[in-house]
Structure 1
Amino acid sequence: MLKGFKNFLMRGDVIVIAVGLVTALAFSTLIKAFTDYIINPIVARFQGRDSPGLGWQLGEEGNNATYLDIGQFISALIYFLVFLAVVYFLIVVPYKHYQARRGVTVFGEPGPVKTCPACLAEDIPEAATKCRYCTSQQPPASAHA
């Protein structure tokens, strides 16, 4: 049992995923600091001098629980977009390039699909002989076109 666990841990996929996760967490911390200390003050400035941020007070003045903070939402949206851009350009693009040099296509365009005549599922691979949802027989790819 321990030998199987060791083999699982030493697979290349697990190591790649672990490195990617650690890298993503490090970038997440960096980008969170960017949005908290650079973007949030800029967004809050648009509301005005005495306001806690860009938004509206829905209840009693000074009650943070009823403050609709649009600035924090904008900040979270910017954080999300910057984080995904960093992950894409610093992890996905180099990984695609590395795998292409090895002759492996990753993150490519999906293959052609067909619609199952029985259940109308639209994402059945064109070469499939059975539907993955209702298991009905599929016509051959050449007859479907």
Structure 2
Amino acid sequence: MRGDVVVVAVGLIVALAFSTLIKAFTDSVINPLVARAQGGKSPGLGWQLGDPGNKATYLDIGAFISALIYFLIFMAVVYFLIVLPYKHFQARRGVAAFKDPVPTKTCPECLSDDLPEPASKCRYCGSAQPARG
């Protein structure tokens, strides 16, 4: 279990580092491109809903598009640089990472709901389990 905790901690650190890198990319590259898409002297891609120059009433679609691009890039980085290598590493160890949970059933006596489907007795109260069929 300790090895898995270390892997998760390293993955979190790497993800945070990539987050900063991707945020800088979207702020420095994507935001100017989105703002240029509207053209003119507008502060960005969006509409002024209230008084001109009031940032509180500016509907900034460009910032939303930039945040969406940031999210997509960040998730792709996390998936391809953390999740896939981790799944491959676990497969080499003989452990299936991120697999579907095993089907379970509920004990009619004690109502515990984490018994495996093929169980014939409850692990908590010892009562016989009805056969599913």
* 1:84, distance to aligned residue in structure 2 (A): 0.5
Q: Deviations over 1:64-91 (max 9, x none)?
A: 1111100000110111111001000000
Matched, 1:69 2:50: no
1:110-138 CA-to-partner distances (Å, cap 9, x unmatched) read 44578x8xxxxxxx8872889xxxxxxxx
Mapped to 2, the partners of 1:141 and 1:42 lie a distance apart of: 63
Which sections of structure 1, spanning at least 5 residues, go unmatched?
1-9, 117-123, 131-138
Amino acid at match of 1:12: G
Q: Indicate the SS of the match to 2:132.
A: helix
The match for 1:104 is 95
- Could you tell me which runs of 5 or more consecutive residues in structure 2 were left unpaired when the two chains were aligned: 107-113, 123-128
| Distance in 1 (alpha carbons) for counterparts of 2:20 and 2:95 | 32
Does residue 44 (structure 1) correspond to residue 25 (structure 2)? The answer is no
1:54-93 matches, within 5 Å, as: 54-93=45-84
Q: Is the 8 A contact 1:40 1:71 kept in 2?
A: yes
Per-residue deviation at 1:46? 1.2
Q: Give the Cα–Cα distance (whole angstroms) in 1 for the partners of residues 131 and 80 of structure 2.
A: 37
In structure 1, what is the equivalent of residue 132 of structure 2? 142
Percentage of matched positions with identical amino acids: 71
Higher relative contact order (CA 8 A, sep 6+): 2
CA RMSD in angstroms, aligned pairs only: 2.8
Task: Give the aligned residue type for 1:34.
Answer: F
- TM-score, structure 1 as length reference: 0.71
